[in-house]
Every structure is written in structure tokens, then in C-alpha cells.
Structure 1
């Protein structure tokens, strides 16, 4: 009994001392004057690690939002939480990320990467958070989790994140699971085809299309046909077209009544590919019982699969079928997939038409501007948190990184590629082309995710660097402005710039095609890219 009392007393004393340590540090911080003094005390929380520090530091981080020294002191808090290094401190980093600017968010992500051993414990608690504000931190955490070597430890946690209320978190988790290449992870992603958010559902479809065996997830694809909008239906039909049989044809048959002509075209193609002529009888039955509006749709599918057209006249269709059914053969219906993934590789809608390519991405300071696709209007002065609320608008660098990441994921193993980012300086992912293996694609995506806008636009320098690779024969160049530094910078004429690039190409044994993309480019910048694309047999596209 005395022994139990002694143990209880020791526990109580320990808790009391821990509380006292925290309280004394809090009092010291509150009485500190000046930024330097306050920073010194905040560092002590990380050094001494008294119990309760993570909770206090998280509250203080948010309270410093309006403080004149706020950004500096918030940086010290992030450093202190990382130094504490506990799972609770990691969760605190998740919770405060929404209140951090982009620089601090990047720092938080770096701290998560350094806390690799603690990430599973952090994720387990963080993914249980239900507040909307925690979404930013969860995405940063997931980005760090992609670098953990043990997929078995991480995959189950990411699967939990697929059920998060925030679509950005679900998308981040899906992308991370794809990179891990765990079979059960892809199966979990397949369920997102029926996600209420169309962007999440489209991402899931892209991931399945890029997988080795999308047919394995036929059940989830068919289920999505019943619950999704037309855009997702088309993407699913695009996947199903490659596995058309009687069962698939039976499932898609009700879509013959769709008002969407593209959907009906896919339905007709899948029915024809099934080679089961009883579907003509089913279509005739549908035509008979359809509403006036539906009859036009069903009649169009009948005409497509049969090669004849009797409009909505059911009597003529039946008369035709009685004569034709004995020797009937379905018409040949071609499908040209609108969406990338099902055998079609694209970058911003332009086909990947080579197996030796370099992506060149502008990361100059202007790429931090918010961009509205419909008008090309710059909308500045927005915070990262505001961007989620804007419809059809996004930061240019984020648009570029998202499409580059999507494209890299779809590259096949026979393709060799490299990635260059450029501003004032030129930063290649690798010194030469590398095959699109699973590991190389994951590494290149990490490189892309770390791109940050800064500096000027050294366009000629990056093209010259890319052309120094003797293997490359196709460049995909994305920029948002004219050259502003380096050779042929601000003052050089567009003609002189183009002539110098063409001279570099002429000296090579292998010719090079240039596909160019511009964020609402005008003036000299547009003239340069359009001329380069035309002169090399490539294309130019306004984004």
C-alpha cells in the first residue's frame, strides 16, 4: 500500500514540475519585451520541451497573425515545434499551417520530412481532425509522407485520408498512394470515381487509366456511371471502351437515353464491340417505351450501331430488323478518346509525340500571380487560402505543377525525359534524359512540387541548356512572359532571339520540335514562342 502511495506521489510531483516548467516559460514569454527577447524564450520551449508546449505554441502562432513581428516569431515557433519532435508537436504543425504564409508552409513541409520516423504517429492523429482549417496542414503532411520508404506503414494512413471531408486532402492522398504503387491503394482510389467532387473523381479516373490493369477496377467504374455527372461518365466510358463485352454493354445500355451526344457515341461503340445482337432488340424496346425526348437519343444509337436510319419510327425499325437480323453485323464505330490516360499522352492537351522529351517550366516571380483562364486577367494580392474560394482562378505556378505532375505520371517506360525549371537561374532535374520508370517519375514529381516562383525570365539560357542534350528531340516550354535576363534578355528583338535558337538547332545532328504554352502571352514573348513553334514543326497554345 505504501509503495502505491509513493508511486502516486512521484507521478503527481512530476506532473506538477512539468506544469511549473511550462507556466514559468509562459510567464517569461509574456513579460519579454522586444522581438529578440520573445524569440529567445520561444526557442526555450523547443529546447526544454515542457509538457503542454505544443498546445501553447500552436495557440501563440495563430495569435501572432496581426503582430508586427509575427512572421519572424511564427518561424521560431515552427522551429521549436519541430525540435520538440513529438507526434503532438507534429499535429500542432498540421493545425497551424492554414494560418501560415507560403514561405512558412514550405518550412512546415520541410520539418515534416525531417520528422520521418514520427510521420505515421502524426498522421494517425492528424487525419482524425475534422476542422476545415486542418486541410492545408494535412496536404503538406501527405506531401512529406510520399518520401517515406516504408509503403506498408504509410499506405493504410493515406487510405484513411481518402475519406477526409476536404477534396484537396482526398486528392493529395490519392496522388501519394499512386506513387507508392501499393495494389490495395489503387483499389481504394478506384472508389473515388463516385466522389461527389468532380475533380477528385477525374483524378481517380486518370490514376486508373495510368495503372497497368484498369479492368481490375471494372466494378467501381461501372458504379460511377450511375452516380456521376456527364464529365465523369465520359471518362468512365473511355476506360470501359477498352474492356467492352456483353456485361459492360448491358450496364451502359440505359445511357442510350442520354442527352449527351458523346455519351451516346461511347454507348453505341461498346454495344457494337460486344458482338451481341440481342442489344438491337433491347434498343427497339427502349425506343418503344421512351419519352419523346428520349426517343431521339435511342434512335440515334440504333442508327449508329446498325448503319441505317429510320428516325423514331418504331414500325419501320421493326420491319427492318425482321429482314436484317439473320445476317446482321454491327457497324464499325471508332472512338477517339477525348481524355488523356487511355493510351493518349498529353501536356495541356497537346500530344506527347516523342519518346525523348524535356519539359521546361517558367518559375520566375510572375508565376506567383493568380490567373483567370477565361480572360487572362491577373488577380494579385490574394493569399493561398483565398485561392480555394476562387472559381476558375489559380496561381500560375500551381497550374503548371499540377499539369506537369499529371503528365509525368502517365509517361510510359519507353519514354526518356527530363525537367528544367528556370527563372534567373536554370535548374535541371537531371543532367541528361532518364527513362520514365516508376522511381524516376516519382523523383521528377518531387522536383516539380518543390518549384517556387522567384527571379527573372532567362528563356534563352534554359533553351540553350536543354538543347545541349544530344538525345532530346522535343521540348515542351511553358512560360508567362517575355525574356527579361540573360542573353537576348529585355532589349533583344524577337527575330534575333528566334534566329539564335534555330542556329543552335541547326548545329545538332538531331532536329528538335518545340511545343510552346503561354499564360496569356502578348507582345515579344508571344512572338518568340509562336515563331519557334512554327519554325520547328511544333505548336503554340494559349492557356
Structure 2
């Protein structure tokens, strides 16, 4: 019905007056007219949709013998229609055992981006069997971002009920999707699923994580029972649940965890006791400093350092003679922090000082700035220094930025020629004012060199000081990180020559991938200390947001406790803050060059 027809339907006299009954009649006629137009438009839209669907169905069949790349546009357009008939065609392809797995993965990505209830319900139940576990990661990634609220509603109202029927790897993929949404209904589902024997321990751990984040104390009894399942990761989750909710009736699990067979549990128990600042538990905590696992030693040292006080000083310096590498490094750090002094790596120096000063000095810890100054200016360790940072660890990785900006010049003091050591001989700091001092003494001569050359020179210098038997690796990074070796390698003369040659070959170019470079460094299970050098903010990689990088790295390092030292070349304030926090939250020290 048109506007003209509406006018014809209304009595002319009333329309002309535009008031009373006539006006109301006109308004009604207008609504009918517009409604009719909408119906006509809707009908036309349906015809166009049917035509589009028919065309895509034909293309889909005609392209079966083409490459996945050639077929991808059709997959995408079918998914974007967001109608069951189109999605059903794609779902049938997933169920076809003859369909190429790469094609299936592309279909999954498009369905996840344009998920409907049909797509979500089919993929997250039957889809795991249809695509095979090699493609589970695609499901987990694609369906974390569903925009259709009805599809999300299905997940939290019905979808989770199928979880026990899935295999272990499928459960893990499903939980990645499930936990990616902040939905209050997840807590209710977790409460009902918790303790189900058909669910794998990794799934139970994720459920405990949901209840931990929600601070759900109503499930405490069921959570505690999971501790007896004997899986270390699940036991750690239970302890973290107790810590978050401050459940005193779990204290026996925490203190008992110090003696557990699993190192992960022992390390977590140390962490929780340290966070509690309960000095009454020091007697049970301190023996863990001599644990057979370095990660537990580090956790115990960190916990005792956090509690602090005179009671920890003697155990710390006595342990210097019984530990080596990373644990010894952390003991020295703790002593420096608590006393405000750096007396080196030998216990006798600390013992002599303590006997003379016990009860006369405060043992409360110093500021971060003072701590970093003492670290960078302190006594040299067994294997020299790198930008002022001692190297005591026997399992280290050097990560060096080779992005394009590393070609830019940087001002340093002229030492009268190149050398293998650092850029200025002052623990990585540029030292004096280039304009001279107030007394008018002779000005220092300054020169400019590309940052990459200064970094390479410092790295060559420290490599030349590493003792035989120290295991190390080098990772260069720009857009993507690349490791010199696939794993840590022991130092000897031949290895040193090869490493120096590799350093000489480093050339700048590309962007800055901070996150993936750190992950690659920490992926080696033997590494316990990382020296990370960069001159800029993240511009590439899995994550570029500073807060996300910090969170992901710190969470992933919560048990391993790899020490991450960071060295920054002329960083902007935001990049400097990221580098500083990466070090602070991962047992390391930040050096600003």
C-alpha cells in the first residue's frame, strides 16, 4: 500500500481538516501503507537471500576440486549469511571424512566468526569427532569470540552438559571456549560439574579456576576433595583456591604441601606462605631452600625474603655454601634487599658482617631504586657481568632485539677503540655528564654508535667470560624470534667461537615482538634466567598490549619462576614501564641504558 492509497482510503473531508476522527483514520491508513511496504521489502529480501544461497550452493559444489585458498571465499560468504541452510552446508563438509583438513579448519574459523546456535551446538558437540584432534586448537580459538548472544546462551545453558562425553583433548578445547566468556552462569555450571569422574583432571582444574575467580565458597568441600586426586596441577589449583578465599580450614593442605612429592605443590605452598607473611611458619619453610628442585628453592627464598626479619639472614648466608647457580643468585639478591648491602657471593663476608651488626641494623628491605643500584654496582659474580647484572646461573638465555630501530645511534663514552666488553665499562650505565663536571675537569669524549653494535659488543664480552659448563642460548628477535640453538648448550672453546660468530652476524631490521620472544626463551625447560634486551615497545607478535603481555608472561612463569632481567635502550615511558614491571614481577632487575 502506498501513501497515495492511504489518502484515497481516508474520507477527503476529514483528511483536509487533519483533525479528530479524520486524522486518526489517516494515521492508521499510513501505518498500514508503511507496513505493506515493509512486507514487500522483506519478501524481496527473502528472494534475494534464496538466490544468493542457491548461487553459493552451486559454487560450493563446483569448487570441490579446487584448492582451499580458491574455495575460501565461498566458505566465508556462506558463513556470513548466518542462516541455518548455509551453515548446514558447511557443517556437512566438516562431517565428510574425505574433506581436506585444511578446508575444515577454514570452515571452523568462518563459522566461529559468524556463529549461530546451530553452528555452535554442532561444532562444540559433534565437531570434535569430525575434525580430529589436530584441529582442536582451531575450534578453541574460533569459538571464543561468538557474537550471537543466542549461541552464547546455548553454551551456558545447554552446551556444558555435553562436556563429560568428550575426550580429554576435546574437553581442553571446550574449556578454552567456555572460560573465555565472563558469564555468571559459568559458576553454576562449574558447581554442577565439579567432581564428575568423567571429567579429566585438567578440566577439573579449569572448573576450580572458575570458582576461584568467582570467590565461590559454597563449593569448598567439593574442591577440597579434589586435592586427593593426586594430580599436581589440580592440587595447585586447590591451594590457590584456598588462598584466594582465605580458607583457614585448608591450612593443613598448605603446610603439608611443603613436603609433598610434587615439586609444583611444594613451590606453590612456599608462595602462599610467603604471601601470608606468617613468620611462625619460617621453621617449616626455610628447609625448602635446599630442595632438590631449583624452582622450589627459588620459591622458598622468595617467600622467606617476603617475610623478612633477622630470622632469615643467617639461614640465607649459610645456604650460600650449599647452593649454586640460580638459587645462589636469588640468595644474594635477598640478602642485598633485606640489608641494603652487597657483600659479594661468599658466605664468610656476610657472616662476618652479621656477627658485628646483628641487632644494630634494620632488616626491613630497601626501595626498588636502591636495590637496582646496588645490584648493578655490586661485586662481580663467577661468570662476570652483563650490563651490570651478575651471572651466577648455569642455565641462561640472552634475548637481543634486532628490530630496525636498533640501527639508530646511541651516545657512549669513547674508550679509545672497540673491545669485547660493555659499551662503557660502567655496569651498563652511560656514566658522566658529556658536558663535564662543575669543577671544570676534562670533559669525557663521547661517540655515537648504532645500538645494535653496542649490544653485540656487550654480548660478545659476557660470552667470553662464561665459565665452562655454563649452558646458554641466544635468541634474536624482530618480527619473529629465532634461536641460535634448539636448546641450551654447554660452553667450551668451540662453542664460544661459534657463538661469537653468530653474534657478529646479527643485523637489524623489522618490527619488535616482545611476547613471543620471551615465550620462546622460557619454553626451554632447563633455562632459569633470561637477559632480555630491547629498545622499543611491542609492535608485533601474539600480543602487543602492554598489560596483556605482562599478565600472560607472569602467569605462565608463576611456577617455573624463570628470572627475567630486562635491559632497555632509550625507551619511551610506556615501554620503560613494561620492561620494569616484567623484571619486577619475574624475580629480575631492570637496567635502563
With the shorter chain as reference, the TM-score category is 0.3 to 0.5
Between structure 1 and structure 2, the one with the greater Rg is 2
TM-score, normalised via structure 2 length: 0.37
Q: Please, what TM-score do these two structures have when normalized by structure 1? A: 0.40
